[in-house]
Structure 1
Amino acid sequence: MFLHISPNQDCGIGFLVYAILSMLSMGDFSNEKSDDKCPRPFVMRVFEDEMMDSESDGEDNQRLVPVKRFNCDKHYLSDDSDDELALEFQSYLMGEVGLVESALCELTYEHQVDTKENIRSKISALEADLMGETEKSASALTRVEKYREARWEIERKLDTQYQRKIAEALDNHLTAVQRDHELRSQIEERKIRSDAAYEEAKRKEKALQEEKIRQEKARAESEARLRAEEAKRVALEVERREAKEAAEREANETAAKVAAGVAQEAAAGRQLDANSGMSNESKNPQSEGNVLRAAESALLLEQGRLQKLQQIEESNQALRLTHNKDFSSYERHIARLIRQISGTKEIVREKSREIVKIFNDPLCPQSISIAAFAKKVVSRCESPNTDAFACGYVIVLVMSQVPHAMDLLLAEFHRVCTYTVPKHIIYSKSAFESKEAYYKAIGYRETEGKIESIEDHLRRLESYMKLYGAVIQTEVQGVQNIHGLKEGWAWIARFLNTMPANRYTAVALNAFLQMAGFALFRKYKSQFMKVLSIISNNFLEALKAREESGLRATIAEIQAYMEDKEFLKEPEGRALQGSLLSSVMVPEPDYHNSYSRPQPNKYF
């Protein structure tokens, strides 16, 4: 009996066991009596397709090849279990056969048992192999799954890395594109700026050329005006020289009259003027009837200076309109330099040089800068603690470089203070509409519709007269003061001959003596002493006769000035500190013998 199974078959364990048991149940016995027959072995074939059909359809379809069985005529094979078959067979054999047949049956039985054992062991081995293969398959599947997961993780990481590289490459590309765009934008901006700068340069060059043409035209006009002004100045200089000579003659005549005893007559005239309330019509030259008290030569000089100042102001206004340019920066610069003036020689020299430099600046017409200087330096008197001597030095040094500017400065003095002429205006109801109009005419200021107090007005009047006196007395070696001590002597002669004795004239005279008395005494000596005598005998007596409370302090100061001989002492601040101007005051003949006073120290 043989069991033939195809090598390619993959049968289930249960079906294999079933097939083996069916084979064993048939038995392979030979009949001793039928020796002549050769029974053919039992063959069982099971095909793979039939096994698959049986598994899919659930039916037991087996193809059995027809075989010829052993002659078992007397054997009864039952479909029952193998044990029953064996028992029946044994009982049957034992009953029919002898010892040999019995041994043969025993061997056959043992062979069957061994065969079953072998089959069972093979089945167990097959099952073990099958389980091992199953485990190997499961392990292989697990490894495959792990490998697949590992590969998936690697591919995911590679994909992430690749995406990161792509993002970096894209970012680098975008950065490069942006950088290139910015570079192009910068190039375009530079090109635009370059074009704009070129256009601006062309425009500036064109404007500069136009400005040069305009400046040349203005310079030509200015030169023409300056030539005309120079001609006028020469004429005025001649007139002023004649006026100076007349003033000197007048002063000499006044001094001679004082020496000859004419003082009594002048005193009588002063007393009469004081009693008439400043309305006396004296023999002094007057203009506009009884309103003005002044010397005719002084009025002529004042008129010429004010007219020149008015012409300059009109010319400056025309220049501003023609040039369409703001010259206020030059005016502010001049005002700042004037505010910085102090009583040291270095500062005086520096500020004078800077102011002259502004006068010579071609970008600013000289008439504008001169007018600004005259206005600013006079208005500095309104500030407290003004150093009048230092301002006087600056004025003299500047005017020595620009002589024709002195008339403008004096015109500014005459405009703000009539006593620098000297000139006194008398109140008259027919000449003035009101008291306020009269106050404005003599120099009072109006603030917010209110006229300033007499104390404020007198304070400003004193400052103006101190600066005017400082300018007159300033003398510098090698520098010509075109409005020096001669003008101061003419001023004091005109003042005593024409001015009435009142509070205003007293303040003006006191301020002038405090600043210029020292220099006038050094130059005129005994003649100046005669003038002081006239002041003491006539002017002060007329002031005392008025009996005004406000005059007492001024009268006391004038008396102390003459009694203490303060004109022998150099005023404080007259000598500048430090070394400057490289000059020394020209020594006068010794005059200290008469008063036993030492000669003043050199101040340069």
Structure 2
Amino acid sequence: MDEGNSEEAAFFELMNEYQLEVKDEIRNQISALETNLINGSEKSASALVRVEKYRDARRDMDKKIDTQYQRKLAEALDNHLTAIQRDHELKSQIEEKKIKNDAAYEEARRKEKALYEEKLRQEKAKAEAEAKLREEAERAAALEAERKAKEAADKLAAEASERVARAVAQQEAVGLHTDGSLANSSSQSEKIQSNKTKKSESAGDVVKAAKSALIVEQGRLQKFKEIDEKNREIHINFVQDFSSNERHVARLIRQIRGTKDNVRSKASELVKIFSNPACPQSISIAAFARKVVSHCESPDNAAFACAHVIVMVTSKMPHVMDVLLAEFHMACIFTVPKYIVYSKTAFESKEAYYKALGFQEDNGKIENVKDYLKRLESYMRLYGALVQTEPPGFQNAHGLKEGWAWLARFLNTLPANVYTAVALNAFLQMAGFGLFRRYRRQFQKILNVISEDYLGALKARGDSELKPIIAEIQSYIEDKKFLKEPEGRAMQDSLLSSVMVPESDHGYNQSNRYY
């Protein structure tokens, strides 16, 4: 029993020692955990304190930045308002200066007009005085002549008895001489009349055109001549330079593009220029006609858009159309339509004949046929675009009716050659669609005449250079291209890139067509 008790006692002691060690270890771990918790709490508290300090510092910094931003914003606003006020003051000064300049200009113009009127009045008074003096001088001369005639008659009556026989003899001699002179004079008169008749017949053979077309052309050229003479008188009598007005017209025409807003705005600006009292209307009209026709040669010429502007302008000012058409006729005889045949008796040289056709001369050298045909096509494209242009709300004074008349006169009077072929092709390309929509079967009959008679006459010439243009006209008729609206005919709502930068060929290369 003592051994058993001693073992149990030893085991018990071992168990107590183990439990004490476990408790000490647990106590140590708890103490370490408490220490760690205390340290973590202190660190957390320290971190929170640092965060609070950073937040306070950040808040102070934000306040400073916000204050600086508000200050800069206030300064910028103040500068902006100051700039606006300065601009308003500058504009006010400019307006005041403009008003003063306008007033000075009006005053100067009024004085100039008064001087001109006074000059005219003085010239009129001087002319009347001179006419009165001439009339008095003529009356005095007539009275003197009458007195001398009476004296001569009295003298002859006194000597009548002595000179009867001699007077009879002289009268007979004079009669015979007069008969001979009359015979010679009659012969010369007949010769002159014959030469005039020959020249007239030669001129009739040289100019190929319908009589009605020539009459209309003459009327338009007469109106153009009247405006031109009026402008010359203005330039002589007025010292003012109107070149800036002409440059403005040219700039507006160059800026024409194929959009509704563009053509509407350009037409409106041109009408304002015509109505501007600072420049005589005849000056502006002549500049408009000249610049429109010369713009045909420009590579960026938008024919349909330009035609819209022409119709919009002339619908408000119809008399401008005749001046413009006269300018067309002088630049391109095929817009009449008219053709001139070469004749040695009618022209001093070939150069004179080419000039009559419309060839341009540069440094004494006539341009080549290729350049002439390119210009001819440009003129006819714009003319063809003009006759079929009918903007909504505007009246075309030279519309499809005139285009139909042009086509009939062309086929009835003009010969078939490369010049007329180029003119006809350009006209059909631009106006064919509109003519077909208006005249339908009649237009198709005209196309049949062109296909059978005109193209037949071209082919009969046997010229290989005519083949491209013959093929193009034939393709236009056979493929019924007149059913398709030409590109650019309808004005667009907005400016597209294709309008801003048009393609160089528009489906074909103009520089390598049939020239």
Q: TM-score, normalised by structure 2?
A: 0.59
User: Do the aligned partners of residues 541 and 209 (structure 1) sit closer, same or farther apart at CA in structure 2, a change above 3 Å counting?
Assistant: same
The reply on whether 1:548 has 2:446 as its aligned counterpart is no
The equivalent residue for 2:385 is 470
Q: Deviations for 1:495-538, whole angstroms, at most 9, x for unmatched residues? A: 00001000000000000000000000000000001000000000
Matches within 5 A, 1:400-439: 400-439=315-354
The equivalent residue for 1:599 is none
The reply on whether 1:337 has 2:235 as its aligned counterpart is no
Q: Deviations for 1:304-352, whole angstroms, at most 9, x for unmatched residues? A: 1111111111100111221211000000000001001111111111111
The equivalent residue for 2:213 is 298
8 Å Cα contact 1:286-1:294 kept in structure 2 = no
Match of 1:573 among 479, 488, 502: 488
The reply on whether 1:212 has 2:106 as its aligned counterpart is no
1:461 & 1:467 partners in 2: Cα distance? Answer: 10
The reply on whether 1:502 has 2:417 as its aligned counterpart is yes
The equivalent residue for 2:282 is 367
The reply on whether 1:460 has 2:460 as its aligned counterpart is no
1:573 & 1:451 partners in 2: Cα distance? Answer: 34
Count of residue correspondences: 317
Query: Which amino acid in 2 is paired with 1:359?
Result: F
8 Å Cα contact 2:203-2:346 kept in structure 1 = no
User: Do the aligned partners of residues 502 and 482 (structure 1) sit closer, same or farther apart at CA in structure 2, a change above 3 Å counting?
Assistant: same
Deviation at 1:295, TM superposition (A): 0.4
The equivalent residue for 1:488 is 403
The equivalent residue for 2:433 is 518
8 Å Cα contact 1:392-1:467 kept in structure 2 = yes
Deviation at 1:550, TM superposition (A): 1.9
1:570 & 1:334 partners in 2: Cα distance? Answer: 30
2:319 & 2:455 partners in 1: Cα distance? Answer: 38
Matches within 5 A, 1:588-599: none
Matches within 5 A, 1:177-188: none
The equivalent residue for 1:47 is none
The reply on whether 1:444 has 2:359 as its aligned counterpart is yes
1:300 & 1:373 partners in 2: Cα distance? Answer: 24
User: Do the aligned partners of residues 205 and 466 (structure 1) sit closer, same or farther apart at CA in structure 2, a change above 3 Å counting?
Assistant: closer
User: Do the aligned partners of residues 495 and 393 (structure 1) sit closer, same or farther apart at CA in structure 2, a change above 3 Å counting?
Assistant: same
2:101 & 2:483 partners in 1: Cα distance? Answer: 66
The equivalent residue for 2:310 is 395
Query: Which amino acid in 2 is paired with 1:302?
Result: E
RMSD of aligned residue pairs (Cα, Å):
2.5
2:404 & 2:201 partners in 1: Cα distance? Answer: 21
1:217 & 1:362 partners in 2: Cα distance? Answer: 18
2:279 & 2:462 partners in 1: Cα distance? Answer: 54
2:229 & 2:279 partners in 1: Cα distance? Answer: 16
2:455 & 2:490 partners in 1: Cα distance? Answer: 30
- Which structure ranks higher in relative contact order (CA pairs < 8 Å, sequence separation ≥ 6)? 2
2:211 & 2:202 partners in 1: Cα distance? Answer: 8
Query: Which amino acid in 2 is paired with 1:451?
Result: I
User: Do the aligned partners of residues 367 and 216 (structure 1) sit closer, same or farther apart at CA in structure 2, a change above 3 Å counting?
Assistant: farther
Deviation at 1:381, TM superposition (A): 0.8
SS at 1:480 equivalent: coil
The equivalent residue for 1:40 is none
Deviation at 1:549, TM superposition (A): 2.2
User: Do the aligned partners of residues 212 and 518 (structure 1) sit closer, same or farther apart at CA in structure 2, a change above 3 Å counting?
Assistant: same
Deviation at 1:202, TM superposition (A): 11
Query: Which amino acid in 1 is paired with 2:207?
Result: L
SS at 1:475 equivalent: coil
Q: Deviations for 1:76-101, whole angstroms, at most 9, x for unmatched residues? A: xxxxxxxxxxxxxxxxxxxxxxxxxx
Query: Which amino acid in 1 is paired with 2:372?
Result: H
Matches within 5 A, 1:182-331: 208-215=106-113, 288-331=203-246
User: Do the aligned partners of residues 493 and 216 (structure 1) sit closer, same or farther apart at CA in structure 2, a change above 3 Å counting?
Assistant: farther
SS at 2:296 equivalent: helix
Q: TM-score, normalised by structure 1?
A: 0.50
1:214 & 1:541 partners in 2: Cα distance? Answer: 64
SS at 2:486 equivalent: coil
User: Do the aligned partners of residues 323 and 504 (structure 1) sit closer, same or farther apart at CA in structure 2, a change above 3 Å counting?
Assistant: same
Q: Percent identity?
A: 63
User: Do the aligned partners of residues 303 and 287 (structure 1) sit closer, same or farther apart at CA in structure 2, a change above 3 Å counting?
Assistant: farther
User: Do the aligned partners of residues 493 and 386 (structure 1) sit closer, same or farther apart at CA in structure 2, a change above 3 Å counting?
Assistant: same
Deviation at 1:211, TM superposition (A): 1.3
Point out the structure with the larger helix share: 2
The reply on whether 1:381 has 2:279 as its aligned counterpart is no
8 Å Cα contact 1:287-1:293 kept in structure 2 = no
SS at 2:308 equivalent: helix
8 Å Cα contact 2:210-2:409 kept in structure 1 = yes
Q: Deviations for 1:407-439, whole angstroms, at most 9, x for unmatched residues? A: 000000000100000000000001100000000
8 Å Cα contact 2:202-2:345 kept in structure 1 = no
SS at 2:339 equivalent: strand
8 Å Cα contact 1:286-1:292 kept in structure 2 = no
1:462 & 1:558 partners in 2: Cα distance? Answer: 14
User: Do the aligned partners of residues 572 and 327 (structure 1) sit closer, same or farther apart at CA in structure 2, a change above 3 Å counting?
Assistant: same
Deviation at 1:216, TM superposition (A): 7.8
User: Do the aligned partners of residues 540 and 218 (structure 1) sit closer, same or farther apart at CA in structure 2, a change above 3 Å counting?
Assistant: farther
Give structure 2 stretches of 5+ with no counterpart.
1-98, 118-199, 496-515
2:250 & 2:384 partners in 1: Cα distance? Answer: 22
Deviation at 1:384, TM superposition (A): 1.4
1:342 & 1:570 partners in 2: Cα distance? Answer: 18
Query: Which amino acid in 1 is paired with 2:109?
Result: E
User: Do the aligned partners of residues 211 and 435 (structure 1) sit closer, same or farther apart at CA in structure 2, a change above 3 Å counting?
Assistant: same
Q: Deviations for 1:149-196, whole angstroms, at most 9, x for unmatched residues? A: xxxxxxxxxxxxxxxxxxxxxxxxxxxxxxxxxxxxxxxxxxxxxxxx
User: Do the aligned partners of residues 204 and 390 (structure 1) sit closer, same or farther apart at CA in structure 2, a change above 3 Å counting?
Assistant: closer
